Structure 1
Amino acid sequence: MILTELISYETLRLIWWALLGVLLIGFALTDGFDLGAATLLPFAARSDIERRTVINAIGPVWEGNQVWLILGGGAIFAAWPQLYAVSFSGFYLAMFAILFALILRPVAFKFRSKREEASWRNRWDWALFIGGFAPSLIFGVAVGNVLQGVPFRIEEDMQIFYDGSFFGLLNPFALLCGLVSVAMLVMHGAAWLQVKTSGAVAERARRYGITAALTVPVLYLAAGAILAFFLPGYVITSEISTSGVSNPLLKHAVIQNGAWLANYAAHPALWLVPGLGLAGSVIAALCMAARRPLAALITGGAGIAGIITSVGVSMFPFILPSSANPSASLTVWDASSSHLTLFIMLISTLIFMPIILAYTSWVFSVLRGKVDAEAIENGKEHAY
């Protein structure tokens, strides 16, 4: 117990807020290019061998990349239990749709080449497209709804009730955020395909990637303008203890116009975060135009990190606002697990995160280089 006193409760909450962002960014940067490449599959690849080339560009790594999604869900469950309860129950149908789409991916990988018929393989190609496009869209839609506030309430006995519906999530602003997500992951997937393939596939991926990369800042700016001028944010109007007990009902919060820009007004240096999101995507487009795919992959990834981080920066200290009862909104300071739990989790993370990063780096190092279409066509045993 003495060890836990080395890091204050307030600091641990901040660390886990930041780590949650790191895990989300890690998922977007790794599994994101898998989703983007799968979305491009029916368009960037025309013939059977071209589509097998795209599949083999992501097939060996997608499963390891998806570890970041599992880590993110586990971190939410352990560090932010109330966030887990609201999001995984309120967004249940949306989560089910994501899981269904993600399940299509390994099934399609395994069954696509089991038969030679073009119609059979074409159906599985479109299943892979759904497995890439649907999660990309729904993740963005979820973020759009979080920014607007989620219709949940917490009773005095701490029971949580969600009053929304699945179709209520499909509102115009949330769909716009979904398109931002699709565009940035298609950009990322296109850059990956340029790194891993050559010839016609890489060239088509380059063209689609440039279009997606230039679409990202347009949609992102549109979403930002709507958020700044038309959609209200949330603000805490009472005192709140940063190291007190985790009870969201002990504060008072209200909905207020322009609240999501308050952190930027108080700390102008934070404008560098959305600036990174804009600059990264534009530079990625220029790198693709100059046929420098690795630079495009890196700069596009930086842009994705900036866009995701800008959401957290705008909302801080809110994690999940409540449109039904703003005072029940979940924040960094009142929705976390206990001091001891956060401390033990941090120690575990400091041990295992370097192992995960080292293993992931080793895998990508072993699998470096371009996918050989000729080897695939000649029937190499381990090709998809």
Structure 2
Amino acid sequence: MILHELLSYDVLRVIWWLLLGILLVGFAVTDGFDLGAAALLRATGKTDVERRVVINTIGPVWEGNQVWLILGGGAIFAAWPQLYAISFSGFYLAMFAVLVCLILRPVAFKFRSKREGTAWRNGWDWVLTLSGWGAALVFGVAMGNVLLGVPFRLAPDMRIYWDGSFFDLFTPFALLCGLVSLTMLLMHGAAWLVFKTEGTVQARATRWGMVAAVLTTLLYVIAGVWLAKLSGFVLTEAMSTTGPSNPMLKSAAVGQGAWLANYAKQPALWIVPALGVLMPLLAALGMKLRREWLGLLSSGLAIAGIVLSVGVSMFPFILPSSVNPQFSLMVWDASSSHLTLFIMLVSTVIFLPIILAYTSWVYHIMRGKVRVEAISEGKGHAY
């Protein structure tokens, strides 16, 4: 109870905002490389054996990577119930498209090598490739729409109304964000393949990874310049950071370039987007020089910088409303109760280290290169 009293409501809200960012980065970095590697399957593997090499680099670990998606969804549901309700209902068709991609992947992993037929295996290879591309694009488009503002409104009794349609999500800026997400994950997947393979597959992954890395930096810079010219969201009056979770109690407005205001107040925050600009180039250099750890680590840091820069730009907003800025959800007015946040934090402190320890152990056991010879001889590879 003493700790509960020391961690005030506003502190717990910020802690959970930070934890949500960490969980999103964890998902993007871990599941990102297997989505990216799958998307590059047909580009890096030209023969059946080479494609099995690619699949076996991600086959043993992709299921564990999904834990971060579950943790992120659970955190949103418990810590930010209004965010969960609005985003999961408004983005329903987009999330359904992502789920189709994520559901088809395990089927492809399991069924691809069950038959020897070329058409059979090529079909499942296309499923893996297209599911990687599709999920990466939709994740980025969703993030772009969050920055633009989402077309929802709240009734006086807090009922949620969505005024947009599925096709309204595909605006030029949102599509640009989708391309940033795609090239980012292609870069990360290529860095993983460079790290886990050798020979011809590694050489092809290097070429694709370098192109994707340069495109990631270029597209991210273009998106940043575009964002600076877009209208963001700002508070027009000071609000209580410990008040009730009721978005109707604040006063907010739209202002051009508002998403860069936090960087003007705290210039040290420019370190975050700087990672998104510089780390892809370092990843490209690492892949070119065969510094495999450097390439993989740099691509992971690039993803962290790109994802976290969205949160830093928007803080304290977490889901703006393009219908009426007053309806926007913020760190201070859309969370669960003080007690709920505290109980969840205690649970996280207990279980997150266990998840990290187990994940580290799995990657340690699965360490080493996947080689063509081992695949051809059927030595310990299931895919």
Residue 2 of structure 1 and its aligned partner are, at CA, apart by 4.7
Indicate the RMSD between aligned Cα atoms, in angstroms: 0.9
Aligned to 2:315: 316
Distance 2:345 2:237 in 1: 30
User: Once the 2 structures are TM-superposed, how far is the Cα of residue 255 of structure 1 from its aligned partner?
Assistant: 0.8
TM-superposed CA distance for 1:61, in Å, is 0.1
Residue of structure 2 in register with 1:140 after alignment: 140
Deviations along 1:219-276, one digit per CA (max 9) or x if unpaired, are 00110111102x1000011221101100000001111101001101111111111011
Matched-pair contact (CA < 8 Å) for 1:39–1:129 = yes
Give me the whole-angstrom Cα distance separating, in 1, the residues matched to 2:382 and 2:157: 56
The residue that corresponds to 1:334 in the other structure is: 333
Aligned positions of 1:243-322 closer than 5 A = 243-322=242-321
2:124 pairs with 1:111? no
Give the alignment of 1:1-384 within 5 angstroms. 1-229=1-229, 231-380=230-379, 382-384=381-383
User: Whole-Å Cα distance in 2 between the matches of residues 12 and 276 of structure 1?
Assistant: 27
1:12: how far off?
A: 0.2
> CA–CA distance in 1 between the matches of 2:127 and 2:322?
36
Q: Which runs of 5+ in 1 are unaligned?
A: none
TM-score, normalization by structure 2: 0.99
SS of the aligned residue for 1:156 comes to coil
Partners of 1:376 and 1:383 within 8 A in 2: no
Q: Using the alignment, how far apart are the partners of 1:34 and 1:58 within structure 2?
A: 6
- Structure 2 stretches lacking a partner, 5+ long: none
Displacement over 6 Å in runs of 4+: none
Alpha carbons 1:235, 1:253 under 8 Å: kept:
yes
CA distance in 2, matches of 1:279, 1:348: 36
Instruction: Note the alpha carbon deviations across 1:197-232, whole angstroms, 9 max, x for none.
Output: 111000000000000011111000110111102x10
1:374 deviates by 1.6
TM-score by length of 1: 0.98
Q: Distance in 2 between matches of 1:278 and 1:290?
A: 20
Distance 1:99 1:87 in 2: 15
Shift of 1:129: 0.7
Contact 1:49 1:373 in 2 (8 A): yes
Q: Does the 8 Å CA contact 1:103/1:131 hold for their aligned counterparts?
A: no
Displacement of 1:3: 3.9
- Determine the C-alpha separation between the residues in 2 that align with 1:93 and 1:55: 28
CA displacement at 1:377 relative to structure 2? 1.5
Q: Is the 8 A contact 1:137 1:178 kept in 2?
A: yes
Q: What SS does structure 1 have at the residue aligned with 2:60?
A: coil
What is the Cα deviation at residue 288 of structure 1?
Answer: 1.0
- The whole-number CA distance in structure 2 between the counterparts of 1:151 and 1:47 is 47
* Cα deviation 1:359-381 (Å, max 9, x = unaligned): 00000000000013222212346
SS of the aligned residue for 1:369 comes to: coil
Once residues 63 and 285 of structure 1 are traced to their aligned partners in structure 2, the CA distance between those partners, rounded to angstroms, is: 27
2:102 alignment partner AA: L
Aligned AA (1:141): V
Structure 1 CA distance for aligned equivalents of residues 11 and 130 of structure 2 = 41
Once residues 209 and 372 of structure 1 are traced to their aligned partners in structure 2, the CA distance between those partners, rounded to angstroms, is 20
Q: 2:150–2:320: 8 Å Cα contact kept in structure 1?
A: yes
**Distance (Å, rounded) in 2 between the aligned partners of 1:369 and 1:325:** 53
Distance 1:3 1:189 in 2: 42
Alignment-mate amino acid for residue 359 of structure 1: Y
| In structure 2, C-alpha distance between the alignment counterparts of 1:112 and 1:10, rounded to whole Å | 50
